[in-house]
Amino acid sequence: MPEAGAPIAWSLEQRITRRLLLVLGSLWLLGSAIALLGVWHETGEVLDSTLNETAERFLVLPEVVLGDARGARLFAEIGPHEEHVVYQVFDAKGQMRLRSHSAPDTPLDGEAVNGIRDINGWRVLTLTRQDGRRRVEVAETVEHRYEVLWSSLGWLVGTLIIVLPAVSVALALILRQGFRALEPIRAELSIHSAADLQPLAASDAPAELQPWLSSVNTLITQIRALMEAERNFAAHTAHELRTPLAAARANAQRLAEVTRDSAAREQARALVRQLDRLTRLATRLLQLARIESGATLSREPVDLAVVARLVVAEFSQALTSNRLRLEVAAQPTGVVGDVDAIAIALRNLIDNALKHGGPQAWVTVLVETLAIYVIDDGPGVPPETLEKLVRPFERGMTAAEGSGLGLSITNAIVRQAGGSLELRSPLLGDRGFAAILRFD
């Protein structure tokens, strides 16, 4: 569920589908309107021609048919029925001799003018023989012609209503299939890390994606150049800082040894301590810069148990005094990561636990399948301050010396390795602190 205030992601597939359906429906309706105009014109011609043919047939009927009583009875026997075309036949005197049962008693065309006209809702065709002895009026209701038009419109719109859902499904499938062409590029981009800044392969990508891939590869090249510059800066800075700091420390130590004044000797020793602290801080800063840039990380199988044993062995004094102990679970403890970076992270956690847990704190390093726990029974920290401790230069309420960078470096390392750093406190009552390195 998206967070409050966060922008709602929109679907390109749905947007394209909606717009294509809108365009298709609009074009279909436009085409239907044009088709209806054509249908109206062509239908009018056909029906007018039918009226003309009917009228001509009545003009050439024998006279005996019009006045035959038997013929009138036969017409009457047909009975009333639906008629779209009606007729009236008049003699030279204007007397109606024959009509269809739906035809009115009065002439359809009172003016009796030859031709076709719309009169009182009828489409009337009037024809008179050259000798003037017979006049025929054949008519069709205008409403019937509109029924034909609306029926055609109903078929066209009904077809559109039926077709649009099918087209919508087809478009969704086609677009989904087309967007699958982006999956290889997305997968390749997702596996890129700060330590792997190779350009994306663009040979198999569609032509529409080539400009986008070119821009991404240009950005990757620029980032790689910046990281290379940062890596060189870190290396050069480390070298340039260590030498003068080491020289200054040596001079301060010599001064402390040769001076006879006790106050000056104490100041020289304080200077040595400050130089040691400055050296550690500079080393941590450079270490953090290199870790966050990904310059020192590699991806290889790492046995967490082996790394833990090697790191714990470095704290010989804590091991001798039984303040530090290591426990390894029976399950396999292999992950993929950078062995040196994981060792730095674990060393920082153990050093923090021993330093900030207090001189009497017990520290346990527990190695499980995909995690390393560093637990101490010291005073702990308030739960609301845990999140701040992973920020650079943030320190808990402790009297122990420190730069506030240990957890920041550890957090950066484990994030680069695809894992997470979890902090818990208190553990039992109001005491205890646990830092957990989790690896996926």
Q: Is 92 in contact with 133 (CB distance < 8 Å)?
A: yes
* E strands in 258-313: 300-303
Does any domain span residue 112? Answer: yes
Residues 38 and 53 in one domain: yes
CATH code of 21's domain = 3.30.450
Q: Is 203 exposed, middle or buried (0-12, 13-18, 19+ CB in 10 A)?
A: exposed
Average pLDDT for 373-377: 90
Structure-token match 């009927």, residue found: 61
- The alpha carbon dihedral of 364, 365, 366, 370 has a sign of positive
**CA dist 356 → 74, 260, 363, 421 (Å):** 121, 36, 11, 18
Residues 150 and 65 in one domain: yes
Residues 339 and 283 in one domain: no
Residues 282 and 346 in one domain: no
Q: What is the pLDDT of residues 125-172, one digit of tens each?
A: 999 988 888 999 999 888 888 888 888 888 888 888 888 888 888 888
Does any domain span residue 378? Answer: yes
Nearest to 83 by CA among 65, 100, 108: 100
- In this structure, what DSSP letter does residue 5 have? T
Residues 109 and 244 in one domain: no
CATH code of 309's domain = 3.30.565.10
Sheet arrangement for strand 324-328: 324-328, 363-367, 371-376, 433-438, 420-424
Does any domain span residue 192? Answer: no
Residues 29 and 158 in one domain: yes
Q: Is 324 in contact with 376 (CB distance < 8 Å)?
A: no
Residues 219 and 360 in one domain: no
pTM score:
0.44
Does any domain span residue 343? Answer: yes
Lowest mean pLDDT among 31-45, 176-190, 246-260, 308-322: 176-190
Q: What is the pLDDT of residues 164-183, one digit of tens each?
A: 888 888 888 888 887 777 77
pLDDT value at 429 more than 80: no
> Where among 261, 293, 325 does a domain terminate?
293
User: What is the distance between the alpha carbons of residues 332 and 75, in angstroms, rounded to a whole number?
Assistant: 104
**CA dist 226 → 129, 194, 197 (Å):** 101, 11, 11
Other Cβ atoms closer than 10 A to 214: 13
Domain count, the chain: 3
Whole-number percent of the chain with pLDDT over 90: 4
Does any domain span residue 333? Answer: yes
Structure-token match 């506030």, residue found: 404
User: What is the distance between the alpha carbons of residues 373 and 305, in angstroms, rounded to a whole number?
Assistant: 12
Q: Print the domain residue range for 151.
A: 12-165
More confident residue, 207 or 377: 377
Does any domain span residue 198? Answer: no
Query: Given the DSSP bridges, would you call strands 324-328 and 363-367 parallel, antiparallel or unpaired?
Result: parallel
Q: What is the pLDDT of residues 62-87, one digit of tens each?
A: 877 676 544 445 555 555 656 778 88
* E strands in 323-383: 324-328, 334-337, 363-367, 371-376
Residues 148 and 26 in one domain: yes
Mean of the per-residue pLDDT values for the chain?
78
Does any domain span residue 186? Answer: no
Strand-pairing partners, residue 93, are: none
Residues 20 and 145 in one domain: yes
Phi-psi region at 52: left, alpha or beta (left = phi > 0; alpha = psi -120 to 50): alpha
DSSP, residue by residue, 17-52 = HHHHHHHHHHHHHHHHHHHHHHHHHHHHHHHHHHHH
Residues 159 and 16 in one domain: yes
Whole-number percent of the chain with pLDDT over 70: 80
User: What is the distance between the alpha carbons of residues 155 and 316, in angstroms, rounded to a whole number?
Assistant: 91
Structure-token match 């085409």, residue found: 31
Helix axes 262-293, 406-416, angle to 10 degrees: 20
User: What is the distance between the alpha carbons of residues 296 and 341, in angstroms, rounded to a whole number?
Assistant: 8
Average pLDDT for 199-221: 76
User: What is the distance between the alpha carbons of residues 406 and 212, in angstroms, rounded to a whole number?
Assistant: 40
What was the pLDDT predicted at 373? 92
Does any domain span residue 193? Answer: no
Residues 108 and 32 in one domain: yes
- The alpha carbon dihedral of 153, 156, 160, 162 has a sign of positive
pLDDT value at 391 more than 70: no
Residues 142 and 218 in one domain: no
User: What is the distance between the alpha carbons of residues 206 and 218, in angstroms, rounded to a whole number?
Assistant: 18
CA 302 to chain centre: 35
Q: Using CA atoms in the order 95, 101, 105, 107, what is the torsion angle rounded to 10 degrees?
A: -70
What was the pLDDT predicted at 326? 92
* E strands in 231-311: 300-303
> Where among 293, 326, 353 does a domain terminate?
293
> Where among 111, 135, 165 does a domain terminate?
165
Other Cβ atoms closer than 10 A to 83: 14
More confident residue, 356 or 416: 356
